[in-house]
């Protein structure tokens, strides 16, 4: 894969697994998250395995952080070919945060990180993205099907999908969402697949036909059907 990829929220979970998978495929990977030590560890694991990676502390809630991140990534390679806008937060426990009991601060930070952060990542990447570049937004079924106790986290994921769809409508790059199903992460809780088991789905999204991804939500079933 001769490409430069930026993965936000890459300190753990899906983000770290996707960053490592991209590095193993030969991409130049810029890993970013709020925890500097954690992303540096992920970048080191990629380089130790023979890949190319750099780490940068960046908070997607701060557009200036994101601007610097994308400028740095563009200098690392020759532009930004692929963005995985993965950074996210969940204030509370899955299925135990009914929206009528949530604080305003939790609601605001869910939207600021999980939706506005997606907007910032894609917007700041676009000036550095070639015509065939693409951005993907990890999502989940709670964005479309309400589940008791998921509160404003679910609202923020629905908003993130809407952000991706609008970019797909307004710009000439490919922007879409991936729903990897239930994954065992700090955000979604235990009981799902290991993040490493779904990382290949993001590699597939980089090469899938642009019309299939642009403005759409591709699911675990779509990936399995296409790669069977």
Q: Exactly one of 11, 82, 152, 157 is catalytic; which is it? A: 157
CA-to-CA separations, 174 to 33, 134, 209, in angstroms, rounded: 24, 5, 10
Please choose, from the candidates 12, 34, 127, 152, the residue with its C-alpha nearest in 3D space to the C-alpha of residue 74. Answer: 127
* Beta-strand pair 174-179/217-219: parallel
The C-alpha R_g of the chain, in whole angstroms, comes to 16
Using CA atoms, how far residue 54 sits from 73, 108, 110, 193, 201, in Å, is 9, 31, 27, 27, 22
From 41, 45, 141, 182, the catalytic residue: 141
105 part of the active site: no
| Phi, psi of 18, rounded to the nearest 5 degrees | -65, -40
Active-site annotation holds for 153: yes
Catalytic residue from among 82, 90, 153, 206: 153
Is 45 among the residues known to form the active site? no
Distance CA 197, CA 193 (A): 7
The Cα–Cα gap between 97 and 123 comes to: 31
| Tokens coding 201 | 């789905």
Could you tell me if 137 and 85 are in contact, meaning their C-beta atoms sit under 8 angstroms apart?
A: yes
Report, as residue numbers or ranges, the catalytic residues: 141, 153, 157
């Amino acid at each position: 894969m001769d490409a430069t990829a930026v993965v936000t929220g890459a300190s753990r979970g899906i983000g770290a697994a996707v960053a490592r998978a991209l590095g193993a495929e030969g991409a130049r990977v810029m890993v970013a998250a709020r925890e500097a030590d954690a992303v540096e560890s992920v970048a080191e694991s990629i380089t130790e395995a023979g890949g190319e990676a750099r780490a940068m502390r960046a908070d997607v809630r701060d557009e200036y952080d994101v601007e610097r991140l994308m400028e740095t990534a563009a200098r690392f390679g020759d532009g930004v070919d692929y963005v995985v806008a993965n950074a996210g937060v969940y204030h509370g426990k899955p299925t135990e945060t009914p929206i009528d009991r949530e604080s305003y601060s939790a609601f605001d930070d869910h939207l600021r990180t999980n939706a506005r952060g997606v907007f910032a990542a894609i917007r700041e990447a676009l000036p550095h993205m070639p015509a065939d570049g693409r951005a993907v937004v990890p999502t989940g079924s709670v964005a479309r099907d309400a589940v008791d106790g998921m509160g404003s986290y679910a609202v923020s994921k629905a908003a993130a999908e809407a952000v991706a769809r609008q970019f797909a409508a307004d710009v000439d790059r490919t922007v879409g969402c991936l729903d990897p199903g239930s994954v065992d992460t700090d955000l979604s809780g235990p009981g799902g697949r290991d993040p490493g088991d779904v990382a290949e789905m993001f590699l597939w999204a980089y090469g899938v036909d642009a019309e299939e991804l642009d403005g759409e939500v591709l699911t675990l079933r779509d990936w399995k059907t296409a790669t069977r």
